[in-house]
Amino acid sequence: MELERDYHMLVGTYSDLDALAHQPYAPVPGDGIYALKLSADGELEQLAATAALNPAVLIPHTDGKHLYSIEETIRENGTVQRYRVGNGGQLEHLDTFEASGRSTCYLALSPQKDVAIVINYWDAIVDVCAVDEDGKLGEVLQSFKQFYRDEGSWRQVTDREDHWGNRQVGPHAHCAHFWEQWVFIPDLGENAVFQYGYDPETKRLTPQTHIEFEPGSGPRHMAMHPTLDVCYVSNELFNTVCVARLDESDPTEVKERLIPFQYVPTLEGQDGVSYVSEIKLSPDARFLYVSNRGDDSIAIFRVESDGSLTRTAIVPTGGKFPRHFAITPCGKGLVASNQDSGYLTLFDRDIDSGDLKRVDGTFTLPAPCYVRFLDS
């Protein structure tokens, strides 16, 4: 591996497996958030560890000084922990925001950085809260449950076992993305992407419509193309990616702004159970990568000039259940977190072809679930 320079990174690990909506089979739980250094020649070194309850998602503030760690649990309402990031990834805890729902799984900052949307997967509760100049999450401005089916036609899952067998009997919001004057929130349970108008003056979301996806597909996460009016939605249950056009015409009109035009599979056939997980564009947005949990692989797609996708390869991750991965800022490397194997694997990435070649060896970390580079 030959990267442009050394990089610092944080890895979230599951510390209490029984508190999760899903069922990790990691051999041992982790302790929280680990700070690592990835050297230019591909060597990983642990620098520090910060105790935390199931830090499932790590989101740096754009100021480069603060980090949001989303703690996932179904036992009680989730929390967002805010840290100050020091040299080498050292974390200083600052404060805690309590969400209004369980299995908290995502946070999205508004373009103005004065509002955050916090997503709670278990009960599909969406919190819209104020954010101060230092990035602290404050007053909850809105909090609502997201669904479109008649209340008598869905139900809230009662426990983990119920959830495992009934993924779509009720709503399960999964992430949020700001785009122009709208916000999109995929919902795996409702099988749709919900569309809201966003007013930066009132700092409120206004429900507009929902875009229904193929029945049973389970929209999970999105990746927004940086220069084309196109987005990519991963469908967890069907192992597909939906490519959709984004329509900003007649902005005062209420209409569907996300228009699907292509579905591409992340697998070549399917033997056994597998679920799509992370979806990410390369730094130059020429390639899209999607991890498959169960097939234990990463699908590679070339982004065509119109934003459509052509799958070019499916590469094994060398471990079990790759929940998450991250591409180095220079684009020349990729780190995959193999949750149920308890280690990270590294890949050389060819910038021109998008291909991945696994680097020999692994780096042991218990129950790794999220990888985030701190260097931009």
The average pLDDT across 217-238 equals 98
**CA separation (Å) from 200 to 110, 181, 197, 203?**
8, 8, 10, 5
Collapsed DSSP state (helix, strand, coil) of residue 88: helix
**Nearest alpha carbon to residue 170 among 151, 186, 183:** 151
CA–CA separation, 362 and 376 (whole Å): 25
Q: How high is the mean pLDDT of the chain?
A: 96
Q: What's CA 279's distance to the chain center, in Å?
A: 7
pTM of the model: 0.97
Q: What is the Cα–Cα distance from 80 to 325, expressed in whole angstroms?
A: 21
* Mean local confidence (pLDDT), 42-52: 96
Percent of the chain with pLDDT over 90: 96
Q: Are strands 258-265 and 240-246 parallel, antiparallel or unpaired?
A: antiparallel
For the residues 87-114, what does the mean pLDDT come to? Answer: 96
pLDDT range class, residue 211, cuts 50, 70, 90: very high
pLDDT band, residue 343 (cuts 50/70/90): very high
Q: Which of 28, 19, 23 is nearest to 366 (CA)?
A: 28
How many CA atoms within 13 Å lie on the side-chain side of 351? 11
Alpha helices in the chain (DSSP H): 160-165
The Cα–Cα gap between 154 and 309 comes to 34
Q: What is the largest CA-CA distance in the chain?
A: 58
Give per-residue pLDDT as tens, 178-196: 999 999 999 999 999 999 9
Average pLDDT over residues 264-293: 94
- For residue 166, CA distances in Å to 125, 189, 346 come to 18, 9, 35
pLDDT at 23 over 90: no
- Asked if pLDDT for residue 284 goes beyond 80, the answer is yes
Q: For residues 291 and 223, what is the distance between their CA atoms, to the nearest angstrom? A: 13
Q: Is the pLDDT of residue 375 over 80?
A: no
Kindly indicate whether the domain formed by 7-373 is annotated with CATH number 3.30.450.30: no
Q: What are phi and psi of 162, to 5 degrees?
A: -60, -45
Asked if pLDDT for residue 336 goes beyond 90, the answer is: yes
- Bigger pLDDT: 207 vs 89: 207
Mean pLDDT of 343-371: 97
User: Encoding tokens for residue 207?
Assistant: 């429900």
pLDDT at 376 over 70: no
Mean pLDDT, residues 207-224: 97
pLDDT for 329 beyond 90: yes
Average pLDDT over residues 87-109: 96
pLDDT at 137: 98
Residue 18 scores a pLDDT above 70: yes
End-to-end CA distance of the chain: 19
What is the model's pLDDT at position 56? 97
Q: Is the pLDDT of residue 151 over 90?
A: no
What is the average pLDDT across 280-298? 98
Task: Look at phi and psi of residue 243 and say left if phi exceeds 0, alpha if psi is from -120 to 50, else beta.
Answer: beta
Stronger pLDDT, 270 or 209, i.e. the higher one: 209
At residue 269, the pLDDT reads: 82
